[in-house]
Amino acid sequence: MKQQNIGFIGGGNMAWSLISGLLADGYEPAHIAVADVDAARLELLKSRLGVTVAHDNVNVVAESEIVVLAVKPQVMRPVATGIAAAVHDRQPLIVSIAAGVRVTDLATWLGGDAAIVRCMPNTPAQVRSGATALYANERASREQRNTAERILRSVGLTVWVEEERLLDAVTALSGSGPAYFFLFMEAMERAAASCGLDAHVARLLTQQTALGAAKIAMESAESPEELRRRVTSPGGTTEQAIRVFEEGRFADLVLEAIRAAERRSRELSEQFGGG
């Protein structure tokens, strides 16, 4: 990846993950700068990752070809308006990883002429196993799209969506999705413990089973439905468990949950947006 200067506005967990991924891919820390209001966080970023740190967002933007906006959605508007003049002068690629902040609103706050790629990463990016969907506005060139994709690919899988509204579905699926799996793992652990297994053993077996199932699904050309059928022997233990899930409307509950998350994502976009 070409060693352009990348400036991060916000030094939280996702910024840390992206920076760590870039460094692991061979990016030079001298080309990465971070601005944050938390002095202790900046000191940690500097000492652990070797990047340049600053308290002034405008100075970071002025020195960067790529600006990653990694602040909370609630503060995106004042942050964006505060750097708008510098963005207009520098014309960097803007990469936003703030959930719920629409490109149209962000473009308005930045002055209307910015090349923007909006991304929806998820928390497994912290272990370089993330899933990120990206959407670009018309001002982002193919080269800039590729650059944004390379940044997010440093922490996992990337996909593009052609309509920004689909990011609400992405948020409901992969953005919130890790919590769904944690919930299911939590329930499996409790159930195993109720059958007499030691809590530590139940946790280890649950974690490894989840990892193994995901690995099979990733490496197989078969659908999850077919993979499930292959491990469900007629009259066996798995069939009995699946029957209970189906009688409890498991698939319907998943549908309702994801649609509820999608609706909430749209609501938050309205809440955080506005001219």
User: Could you report the per-residue pLDDT of 88-104, keeping only the tens digit for each?
Assistant: 999 999 999 999 999 99
User: Could you report the per-residue pLDDT of 105-153, keeping only the tens digit for each?
Assistant: 999 999 989 999 999 999 999 999 999 999 999 999 999 999 999 999 9
Give residue 227's pLDDT: 97
pTM of the full predicted structure? 0.92
- Which of 111, 130, 164 is the endpoint of a domain? 164
Q: What CA–CA distance (Å, rounded) separates 155 from 11?
A: 16
Whether residues 123 and 225 fall in one domain: no
User: Could you report the per-residue pLDDT of 251-260, keeping only the tens digit for each?
Assistant: 999 999 999 9
Whether residues 115 and 93 fall in one domain: yes
Residue 27 has pLDDT above 70, yes or no: yes
Task: Say if 273 falls within a structural domain.
Answer: no
3-state SS class at 148 = helix
User: Could you report the per-residue pLDDT of 165-203, keeping only the tens digit for each?
Assistant: 999 999 999 999 999 999 999 999 999 999 999 999 999
Whether residues 68 and 185 fall in one domain: no
Return the HEC string of 2-70.
Answer: CCCCEEEECCCHHHHHHHHHHHHCCCCHHHEEEECCCHHHHHHHHHHHCCEEECCHHHHHHCCCEEEEC
Task: Say if 170 falls within a structural domain.
Answer: no
- Hey, what are 182's tokens? 């944690």
Closest CA to 129 of 152, 157, 102: 157
Task: Say if 169 falls within a structural domain.
Answer: no
- Tell me the pLDDT band of 3, cut-offs 50, 70 and 90: confident
Mean pLDDT for all residues in the chain: 96
Neighbours of 43 (CB within 10 A): 11
Whether residues 145 and 194 fall in one domain: no
**Percent of the chain residues past pLDDT 70, beyond the cut:** 99
Give residue 176's pLDDT: 97
Task: Say if 48 falls within a structural domain.
Answer: yes
Q: What are phi and psi of 36, to 5 degrees?
A: -160, 155
Give residue 14's pLDDT: 96
Whether residues 131 and 35 fall in one domain: yes
Whether residues 196 and 160 fall in one domain: no
Task: Say if 172 falls within a structural domain.
Answer: no
- Give CA angle at 192 (191, 197), nearest 5°: 145
> Domain tally for the chain?
2
We report the CATH number of the domain holding residue 111 as: 3.40.50.720
Q: What are phi and psi of 63, to 5 degrees?
A: -110, 10
Whether residues 44 and 120 fall in one domain: yes
Give residue 2's pLDDT: 65
Neighbours of 104 (CB within 10 A): 15
Q: Domain range for residue 146? A: 6-164
- Which of 135, 164, 193 is the endpoint of a domain? 164
We report the CATH number of the domain holding residue 244 as: 1.10.3730.10
- Which of 110, 136, 164 is the endpoint of a domain? 164
